[in-house]
């Protein structure tokens, strides 16, 4: 008698982009594990349910991941697919990142009504973004910008560009690439103007720590260079104790046997910023991120983060 193959249940948020990402992961897992069957379980998160308030007011840790993690712990799903930038730096003790697939482009991009770049936007341009990190770096670039909060999935935000009389919006390049919306991009914003969120462009495949069967299934999707870079970025963020709604940007890159990371900590108004970089051997990625964070805290970053915490006291988790 042939033993029936167990279906692997994959948890995903229900947004169009999340499902595109999850279906891509499943297609890769099928290619790497021929014969296995997969089933998507759509799970709504707190961040999906509350769309009428700025993310910075909701609490920045686990907004788009907690419900998926609960389903993992309760064994309702076998795998959770997340955008890496949404994943808290401290995971539940029973969970782990089973794989970090190859990173998509981590840049932020500008989409403007007249296809204008940041430099060419009109005076007092109205720019939509839900990210304090983007807001702070935009205001650091040009203090006349009027930044308006922009919530919703990618399709909704694109529609609001015209519906809410905005001059431009800023979104992640990776999401547009995955959804095939690249024709609308006005400018890929260079890192010297805007560093991305920690993990931006990357996916994390989260699993139960003791599930050796699933670990074996997903491990082949792991991209070593992406994993090392994201490890350095997440280590930096953990040291800074910042959730996804703190004005911190970082990007790490692996070249040969060395990983280099650059990061920024901004005041909410963009008036002050601490920016620095550090590098070292790839097998010490977490240490490199931690050391850079410590240096930035000592050089003024701690004061900036205290200002942010004071303004959002009790509203942002774990900062």
Task: Spell out where 150-281 has E strands.
Answer: 168-172, 187-188, 203-208, 248-255, 258-266, 273-281
The tokens for 70 are 């609960």
Known catalytic residue: 48? Answer: no
Structure tokens at 18: 């999340």
H or E element in which residue 147 lies = strand 146-148
Q: Give phi and psi for 259, each to the nearest 5.
A: -115, 135
Closest CA to 202 of 158, 254, 268, 160: 254
Q: Contact 45/66 with Cβ under 8 angstroms?
A: yes
d(CA 14, CA 169): 23
Q: Give me the helix-helix angle, 16-32 and 154-163, nearest 10°.
A: 150
Residues 173, 175, 177, 183, CA torsion sign = negative
In whole angstroms, give the CA distance from residue 84 to residue 204: 5
Distance between CA atoms of residues 285 and 243, nearest Å = 20
SS3 label, residue 4: coil
Give me the catalytic one of 78, 86, 167, 290.
Answer: 86
Residues annotated as catalytic are 86
């Amino acid at each position: 008698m042939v033993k029936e193959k167990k279906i692997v249940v994959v948890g995903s948020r229900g947004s169009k982009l999340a499902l595109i990402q999850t279906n891509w992961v499943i297609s890769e897992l099928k290619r790497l594990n021929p014969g296995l069957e997969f089933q998507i379980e759509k799970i709504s998160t707190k961040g999906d349910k509350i769309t009428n308030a700025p993310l910075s007011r909701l609490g920045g840790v686990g907004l788009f991941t907690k419900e998926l993690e609960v389903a993992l712990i309760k064994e309702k799903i076998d795998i959770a697919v997340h955008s890496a930038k949404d994943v808290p730096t401290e995971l539940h003790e029973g969970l782990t990142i089973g794989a970090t697939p190859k990173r998509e482009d981590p840049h932020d991009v500008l989409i403007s009504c007249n296809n204008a770049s940041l430099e060419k936007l009109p005076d007092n341009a109205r720019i939509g973004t839900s990210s304090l990190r983007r807001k702070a770096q935009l205001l650091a670039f040009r203090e006349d910008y009027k930044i308006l909060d922009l919530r919703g999935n990618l399709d909704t935000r694109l529609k609001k560009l015209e519906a809410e009389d905005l001059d431009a919006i800023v979104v992640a390049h990776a999401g547009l690439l995955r959804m095939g919306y690249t024709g609308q991009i006005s400018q890929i914003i260079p890192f010297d103007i805007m560093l991305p969120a920690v993990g931006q462009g990357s996916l994390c495949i989260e699993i139960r720590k003791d599930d050796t069967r699933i670990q074996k299934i997903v491990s082949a999707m792991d991209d070593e260079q992406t994993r090392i870079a994201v490890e350095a970025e997440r280590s930096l963020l953990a040291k800074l104790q910042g959730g996804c709604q703190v004005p911190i940007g970082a990007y790490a890159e692996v070249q040969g046997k060395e990983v280099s990371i650059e990061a920024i900590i901004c005041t909410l108004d963009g008036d002050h910023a601490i920016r620095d970089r550090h590098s070292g051997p790839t097998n010490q990625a977490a240490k490199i991120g931690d050391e850079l964070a410590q240096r930035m805290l000592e050089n003024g970053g701690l004061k900036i983060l205290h200002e942010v915490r004071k303004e959002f006291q009790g509203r942002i988790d774990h900062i």
